[in-house]
């Protein structure tokens, strides 16, 4: 059975690939992003399945655009928040930290909060949050990014608990990918990098199974546990 899905941040990377896979499976997808031409490119390939809204999550009217998409789609089953930035701030530049927080915290929470309440009123639905393995510990090279992703993961898990307490058919999936082969260089070690398509398919599978939390790929579960339990005298040499 086809679903009505919104992907926030669908013009590149994981969000783009997930959109393409969902469309190939026959779903209707509402896509958002800052680059209009990339949104229209998707619409051109799947004119009967794609609806678009061009906006930046750090600006105003996020909810207006999302409500417009729901009207165009004729409903909503799944909302995926894939929008985010991960620029290193080795010299701790305020411009980078501010942009990171505006996108990964303020933009994120406005959409996540609204989506959860929408699903509560509707009585069902699923919210998926694309966080990061960086959520599991601090980083001297990207302090604001790690902190913002930790915020996303904890908020998502809080919503999952809230859904259980409300006894609603609402599911919240928190996804923490490791290194994915996107345009952003993350490591020179190919062992830790997985293709975008593989990551996207694993995430879609986790959403389909209504997983509460998933690491992409599975080997990153071990890394997450190591980061959380590593003694500080070792961790400070790596972070």
Q: How far apart are CA 66 and CA 10, in angstroms?
A: 14
pLDDT, tens digit only, all 239 positions of the chain: 899 999 999 999 999 999 999 999 999 999 999 999 999 999 999 999 999 999 999 999 999 999 999 999 999 999 999 999 988 888 999 999 999 999 999 999 999 999 999 999 999 999 999 999 999 988 888 999 999 999 999 999 999 999 999 999 999 999 999 888 775 545 555 557 889 999 999 999 999 999 999 999 888 777 767 777 777 776 666 66
> Considering the entire predicted model, what is its pTM?
0.92
State CA 1 to chain mean position distance. Answer: 24
Q: What fold is seen in the domain 4-238?
A: Rossmann fold (3.40.50)
Give percent helix, percent strand, percent coil of the chain, each to the nearest 5: 50, 20, 30
**Nearest-5° Cα angle at 76, 145 to 154:** 30
Domain boundaries, the chain: 4-238
Q: How far apart are CA 117 and CA 130, in angstroms?
A: 19
Q: How many CB atoms lie within 10 A of CB 183?
A: 7
The answer to whether the bond into 217 is cis (omega within 30° of 0) is: yes
């Amino acid at each position: 059975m086809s679903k009505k899905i919104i992907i926030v941040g669908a013009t590149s990377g994981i969000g783009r690939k997930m959109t393409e896979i969902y469309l190939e499976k026959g779903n209707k997808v509402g896509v958002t992003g800052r680059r209009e031409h990339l949104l229209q490119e998707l619409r051109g390939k799947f004119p009967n399945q794609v609806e678009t809204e061009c906006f930046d999550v750090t600006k105003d009217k996020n909810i207006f655009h999302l409500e417009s998409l729901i009207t165009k789609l004729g409903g909503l089953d799944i909302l995926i928040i894939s929008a985010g930035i991960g620029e290193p701030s080795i010299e701790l530049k305020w411009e980078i930290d501010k942009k990171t927080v505006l996108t990964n915290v303020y933009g994120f929470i406005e959409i996540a909060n609204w989506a959860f309440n929408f699903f509560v009123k509707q009585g069902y639905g699923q919210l998926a949050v694309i966080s990061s393995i960086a959520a599991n510990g601090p980083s001297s090279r990207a302090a604001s990014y790690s902190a913002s992703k930790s915020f996303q993961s904890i908020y998502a898990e809080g919503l999952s608990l809230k859904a259980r307490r409300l006894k609603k058919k609402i599911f919240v999936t928190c996804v923490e990918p490791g290194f994915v082969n996107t345009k952003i260089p993350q490591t020179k070690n190919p062992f830790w990098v997985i293709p975008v398509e593989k990551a996207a398919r694993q995430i879609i599978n986790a959403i389909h199974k209504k997983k509460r939390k998933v690491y992409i790929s599975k080997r990153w579960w071990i890394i997450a546990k190591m980061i959380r339990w590593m003694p500080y005298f070792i961790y400070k040499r790596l972070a």
